[in-house]
Amino acid sequence: MEGKNLFFLVSIILLLIFTFLNLPSPLSHTTDQLFDCTTYSPWCSSKKPFFLRQPENSKNHYADFPNHPLDPLTIGEIQKVKKIVNSIAEFRIKGCVLHSVVLEEPEKEVVLNWRKGHRLPPRKAAVVARALGVVHVLSVDIETGRVTRRETGSYSGYPILTIEDMVTAISAPFASSDFNRSIIQRGVDLADLACLPISTGWYEKMEEKQRVIKVQCYTLKDTINFYMRPIEGLTVLLDLDTQQVIEIIDEGKSIPIPKAANTDYRFSRIKKNTQKINLLKPISIEQPNGPSFTIENNHLVKWANWEFHLKPDPRAGVIISQAMVQDPDTGKMRNVMYKGFTSELFVPYMDPTDAWYFKTYMDAGEYGFGLQAMPLDPLNDCPRNAYYMDGVFVAADGTPYVRSNMICVFERYAGDIGWRHAECPITGLSIREVRPKVTLVVRMAASVANYDYIVDWEFQNDGLIRPKVGLSGILMVKGSPYVNMNQVNQNEYLYGTLLSENIIGVIHDHYVTFHLDMDIDGPSNNSFVKVNLQKEMTSSGESPRRSYLKAVRNVAKTEKDAQIKLKLYDPSEFHVINSNKKSRVGNPVGYKVVPGGTAASLLDHDDPPQKRAAFTNNQIWVTPYNESEQWAAGLFVYQSQGDDTLAIWSDRDRAIENKDIVLWYTLGFHHIPCQEDFPIMPTVSSSFEIKPVNFFESNPILNIPPNSPKDLPICKAAASA
């Protein structure tokens, strides 16, 4: 290959990996800046001085310091951790790779007893490192410089992939002449190639013995939407540690590469002869007095009657902690949830063929949900007056870098109603009372390769919390010899939908499991109650009615009592109560989880992907609080065998009555692709609610005022056409 073509090929590889990981592209800098550690690059030498470049309009994080026990590690703290870890003799000799560096949160009791103005508890970092194939779990005391806990040993699975792992994976195949030959035989120029690193799952094969990854490729020719131009049937299996190609499977030579026509989704590139839709006039919700929320010391959010701690996380994305709501009668802040976050995502594709069977992604534990978060686009991802929060994460060599505009916080008013009542004229009462609904939204959007996930945490001033997940982005498609369904044999199954000529959208599921550490009026004496609605028959002559519904309350004694599969014809409510706290009239105070539209996994429980994702076997689980049980698929997910999951923990059947308990809820989607999903998908969303039940003495927003014309600005509209 000529030098110019090789340089172009390497440039394309770098561009793709930085696009895949949402990192600032080094190709946007001059040659002198390409290997400069002023911006994060995996090729930077750790010996060079580190100066973090702030993205445009980003905050300067050098001056950051912790103000709260749960504040994330600062740049200065990360640099200290790097120095401490590098001083370990074994790591100096063997070298190590850092897969995770995050705050090791203090014990829950310590955090709950801490008050503003008090000295912070000792700051520690939880570090996951690998040296010569051995995983080390470290607890680093930042103040003393000592490693206070160190674990080594065999774990099922491996830690989250590093950026360097992915860079290696997409570049290593080019060292194979067999791979290059296969690409050229498909009629694809190597300079047009776009490849992706794909987790392998675990199927009781070589995945037990070595850290491996699979690579599949596409062509960028004539479109930025390379996902729609797969080189079908070509799969490379790599050893991640040796960077050697283990196997090349090439079974799709007869399948044509789909054409690029109509695949570009960028507004600037839509063909001139294609009608651009402009159905709406501009709309903007203005706040002339500014937003009603404040964010103190970078992480403490205060809005209306809510207060909570907010921080970015490389694995979970967003973590909400110490959510408290004000009681309208006493004025006191009351505990609702100690910690809530996205624990894991499971995305199995329903195609058992050689090039597809392994596509059963665990996006948080394999790739890092927060690491894939993209900078949010003002006015499109988030409205005017939104507050943006950056994430500070850590590269494999310990170098900190900034993910700018990772989270936004804003108020939403969409014309919804908080409560209302109007009297019918026959009563003779002229009453019309209405209150508007304004909510606070915390948003993150993660682009995990082709798919985009929009995660909202929405707070209402009536005490409700609504986690919501939106799916958008681009389908993962397979190449097909067919251009029309009339060519398909009646007995042939496509594993999906023919979306366009030679393109099949493969059926798949999405499961998003939330960790909800509910602390209703404190962590102790919390219980899970299933309130089952049962049909009750009336006695003969008792009533003109023959049946009615009766609410039957069952307090879960142990974990197995709280393993819930949702059933439409067996309706229930699911309460978390504090049995020691009663309302004025004697009801236990609590919150309930209200399921929304969801889906359940139909995979066989003995299917290897479902073994690893056994946390989706139920929609609701309840476990006793355990600080080591946070990740539903286990601490180490990559190539895990399913022996450290929520299902394993829950089968211990521990006591959960009158305990500090954690509720887990899984939101699910079945996705049968359709033509409207091509070339990019309109967002589809689902949510669930965490809602007060007998927590307040009455409607907590009874006393909020209605809107009046004098309170709202009048914007002069442009003359209508």
Contacts of 563-571 with C-beta under 8 Å, sequence gap 24+, read 563/618, 563/620, 563/621, 563/650, 564/530, 564/618, 564/619, 564/620, 564/621, 565/600, 565/618, 565/619, 566/595, 566/598, 566/600, 566/619, 566/620, 570/532, 571/532, 571/533
Q: What is the largest CA-CA distance in the chain?
A: 95
Helix (H) or strand (E) holding 10: helix 3-21
pTM, 2 dp: 0.92
pLDDT tens-digit map of 572-612: 999 999 999 999 999 999 999 999 999 999 999 999 999 99
What would the mean pLDDT of 650-654 be, rounded to a whole number?
98
47-73 average pLDDT score: 68
Positive or negative CA dihedral for 170, 171, 176, 180? Answer: positive
- For 575, counting Cβ atoms within 10 Å of its Cβ (0-12 exposed, 13-18 middle, 19+ buried), the class is buried
The pLDDT value recorded for residue 60 is: 80
**C-alpha pair distances (Å), 235 with each of 137, 187, 247, 254, 676:** 33, 17, 8, 15, 29
Q: 419 is written with which tokens?
A: 């409560």
What's the pLDDT band for 621 if we cut at 50, 70, 90? very high
- So what's the pLDDT on residue 206? 57
Average pLDDT over residues 470-492: 97
pLDDT band at residue 58 under the 50/70/90 scheme: low
Amino acid at position 313, single letter:
D
CA distance 167 to 393: 18
d(CA 158, CA 151): 14
Q: Is pLDDT above 60 for 233?
A: yes
Alpha-carbon Rg for the chain, nearest whole angstrom, is: 27
Task: Give catalytic residue positions.
Answer: 363, 451
Q: What angle do CA 102, 105, 110 make, to 5 degrees?
A: 165
* Per-residue pLDDT at 717: 60
Looking at every residue in the chain, the average pLDDT score rounds to 90
Q: What is the pLDDT of residue 153?
A: 61
Q: What is the mean pLDDT of residues 284-310?
A: 94
User: Apex CA 679: angle with CA 676 and CA 683, to 5°?
Assistant: 60
Asked if omega into 256 is within 30° of 0 (cis), the reply is: no
404-414 average pLDDT score: 96
Q: Following DSSP, what letter does each residue of 87-110 receive, concatenated?
A: TSHHHHHH--EEEEEEE-PPPHHH
Residue-wise pLDDT tens digits, 172-202: 999 999 999 999 999 999 999 999 999 999 9
How large is the average pLDDT for residues 286-296? Answer: 91
Instruction: Output the pLDDT for position 712.
Output: 80
Q: What is the pLDDT of residue 460?
A: 98
> What average pLDDT does this structure show over 402-419?
96
Note whether 420 and 408 are within 8 A (CB): no
pLDDT for residue 719: 52
Hey, what are 613's tokens?
A: 């994702």
User: What tens digit of pLDDT does each residue of 531-563 get?
Assistant: 999 999 999 999 999 999 999 999 999 999 999
557 C-beta neighbours (distance < 10 Å), count: 15
Transcribe 206-257 into DSSP letters: GGGTS-EEEEEEEE-TT-S-GGGSEEEEEEEEEETTTTEEEEEEE--TTSPP
Question: Which residues have C-beta within 8 Å of that of residue 292, sequence separation ≥ 6?
Answer: 303, 304, 411, 438
